[in-house]
Amino acid sequence: MPSNKSVSDAPITQFINCRILKEQELQSEDLWVREGTILNPERLFFDEKGYADTQIDCQGSIIAPGFIDVQINGGYGIDFSLATDNVKGGVSLVAKKILAHGVTSFCPTLVTSPPYIYHKVLPGISVQNGGAEGAGILGVHLEGPFISQEKKGAHPEQCLRSFQTGGFQDLLDTYGSLDNVALVTLAPELPRSQEVIRELACRGVTVSLGHSVSNLSQAEEAVQQGATFITHLFNAMLPFHHRDPGIVGLLTSDQLPRTLCTHGMIADGIHTNPAALRIAHRAHPTGLVLVTDAIPAMGLPPGRHTLGQQVIEIQGLNAYVAGTKTLCGSIATMDMCVRHFLQASGCTVEAALEAASLHPAQLLGVSDRKGTLNYGSDADFVFLDDSLNVRATYIAGEQVWKK
């Protein structure tokens, strides 16, 4: 039925000769965009008697929703966990560079740091739309400091904290503010953590379980209180044990609805053996979220760099805490992770692409506008060849990067 509203006369772009990812399959159809939003062509034709102002020949490209990275610590020499005089400028540099890897939205991630770092850095990072200047920011991911000492990984021990007498107030005092915070990773076995999880969830902050020695029942209780994610599954948690599978057991828990808990995976070929990737994918395919966990050394040559309070050494594709064999994030890009996940897991192309787009959007509660090519969604998408190499990146229907 035609709308009575005045119809926009903004220009319409039609992308032709492409396969678009829609409803779990690649479909040979055109993509229509107006005012940064994906259009329903039937309404355009029948209600508006409209047509395209511009046609773009995609030359057989796959068009997938733009990638969303919910765990990225920095890159290209920028460390999000350092209190520089130009926090905003550093985040903007990374936002610009990751367009080349198909990332259209991300969550700048801070590792465990002293309170003064959060108080200085967090006010400099705000939720914002992406564009030619860089990928959009969906909110900050705070990974720590409320994590397990035994599974701290590369997080500095002297900065770890627990919920003392104040409970949730301890968290607020440490961070200073939860404005523009999208995601918090904590260990659910810490005393008073369950009430903290409940309060974070009530405030609309996504809670993730990680860097933890939690048993399965503690993890299940955390999910019942509102936690919905597992930070880098298998890494920095108790290994799977048949009598108590720990956090890993959430993937097949019979105490929870299947849709309740999703899991991040660093598919860089180093953090997770291909067999473990396959286990995670087959146990809960619709809950798998690809993350880079990239550190400031991403995009830089081998050698010594920083990550928050630690010195990091890059050897080949491995990033270690200097002088140890403790892994500390990756130097992988999101498009690399998508390709490796496809090859290692044996999943479909569609599943690999959705793990980097739809699933992270669902995790953060933004899948009504991000992570899909549904009508009415933001026109954030990526052109890929058949090997899933990025050809071009678009935000709000405008090309922001081209190979």
- Residues with catalytic roles: 293
Residue 181 phi, psi (nearest 5): -95, 125
Distance CA 163, CA 169 (A): 8
298-303 — which CB contacts under 8 Å span 24+ positions?
298/74, 298/75, 298/76, 298/330, 298/331, 298/332, 298/333, 299/75, 299/76, 299/77, 299/97, 299/331, 300/76, 300/77, 300/331
145 prior amide bond cis, ω within 30? yes
Q: Is 122 annotated as a binding residue?
A: no
24: tokens are 């779990």
| 48 annotated as belonging to a binding site for a ligand | no
Please tell me whether 271 is known to bind a ligand: yes
- Residue 211 counted as an annotated binding residue: yes
CA distances from 268 to 12, 273, 331, 382, 390 (A): 39, 9, 8, 20, 17
Using CA atoms, how far apart are residues 191 and 213, in angstroms rounded to an integer? 13
Is 327 labelled a binding residue? yes
Integer Cα distance of 307 and 112 in angstroms: 10
Number of other residues whose CB lies within 10 A of the CB of residue 272: 22
Place of tokens 């692409």: 353
Q: Give the gyration radius of the chain's Cα atoms.
A: 21
232 is in an annotated binding site: yes
For residue 243, say whether it is annotated as part of any ligand binding site.
yes
Residue with tokens 């076995």: 189
CA distance 162 to 299: 34
Mention every residue, 6+ apart, whose C-beta is less than 8 A from residue 93.
76, 78
Annotated binding site for Zn(2+): 143, 211, 232
Annotated binding site: 143, 154, 211, 232, 235-236, 243, 271, 327-329
Annotated binding site for substrate: 154, 235-236, 243, 271, 327-329
